[in-house]
Amino acid sequence: MAFIFRLPDIGEGLEEAEIVEWFVAIGDEVLRDQPLVEVLTDKASSELPSPVAGTVLLLGADEGTRLQVGEVLIEIDDGSTAPKVASEPLSTQTSPTKSQPPTPLPEVAPLTARPKAAPATRRLALDLGVDLTTMIGTGPGGRITVNDVHAAAPASTSTGGLSNDDSTASDGLGQAAAGRHALRGIRGVVARNMTQAWTEIPHIHTMDEVDASLLIDFRDRIRDMDRSGATRVSVLVVAAVATARALRRFPVVNGHVDGHPGDAMVIPEHIHLGIATATKRGLVVPVVHHADTLDLFTMADRISSVVGAARSDDLSAADLSGATFTITNYGSLGGRFATPIIPPGQGAILGLGAVAERPVAIDGEVVARPTLPMVLGADHRLIDGDLAEAFRRAVADDLAEPLHLLIGS
């Protein structure tokens, strides 16, 4: 009889997921806990393991299809005499429900505990001939990262501590064959989120250009310091610390409007910064949690970690959840000004342009000085022009004189 495995709620409170890749086909023999499929929610991709051993009878949807929680994902003939259904949240070690006794399993070799690694990391390990079960990961909770795989790979196949993913995300940028293409994967997530944000949030934008002379000098001096995180300090890192400081001062900017068209204002207890990151799969926004508790050097380490994980496709759902405010650094791509879109569930976004020498009036004379363009996008249901200007000015003042960030409020 068929064991019917329905798409479970995988713990993110979301109602649907996209089938990214099937690891099995109809007729395949599978073991209990063997990965069956990679699914993508609006948070992250996850692998779902088989709750039973048996033969695959049916795949519930094609790759690229979005299923609702509770819809049939796969049917497996597990040798039992009565049909069974599973739709509970699964871990790599699935427990039987209280209403059913455990199903006797066929005689199979014992399975090694499944190592923690993202689907892309598993594919890379397969390509490089690396056995993940022999490794101890350096990521959070022992998670195996892309760099771990490269470090363990034979010298002839590995590029060392940094993979080719260290190249810019613009490789192949804007390339697609003529014709109609479904919006799938990360691009589909971005499309849905941006449509929601643009149609539901009335945006206002305020922009300015900050004299970055002291900021650049500050960054360069910090990088020369002999302490952890110093070499990772960047304009983005300094801006993140300044933003967290301004959000403590103006907590409404850290809030968001709840309900449609807007029934309540929600002010979060904590400050969690989303860092918009361009990757080869598309735009993702990993989160630096409790950003207001981090000093400059810890912030540098955290941003480096989450951005690196994003570009290596090694983010967990927790890494992508909970942002209360987002920073987008399009200046890293050479842009000067933009009007960024506020992510759903937030009230504002800060955009940073490229630092470059530009003409500035100083004491009645026009001179060349490095300047940092910045734009604040705000939800006008929550934030009026006076608050938007006050917040942007608070961030700008700390960027113009970054010593403020070392001496406290």
* Closest to 317 measured CA to CA, from 192, 143, 169: 143
- For 177, residues 6+ apart whose C-beta sits below 8 A from its C-beta are none
> What's the CA gap between 400 and 402, in Å, rounded?
6
**Residue 380 is among the residues annotated as catalytic for this protein:** yes
Q: Select from 345, 320, 395 the least CA-distant residue to 12.
A: 320
- The catalytic residue among 256, 270, 380, 404 is 380
213-223 and 385-400 are packed helices; what angle lies between their axes, rounded to 10 degrees? 50
Distances in whole angstroms, Cα of residue 89 to Cα of each of 64, 319, 347: 22, 19, 32
Question: How many residues in the chain?
Answer: 409
Q: How far apart are CA 398 and CA 240, in angstroms?
A: 11
**Alpha-carbon distances of 23 from 89, 124, 129, rounded to whole Å:** 19, 15, 18
Residues belonging to the active site: 380
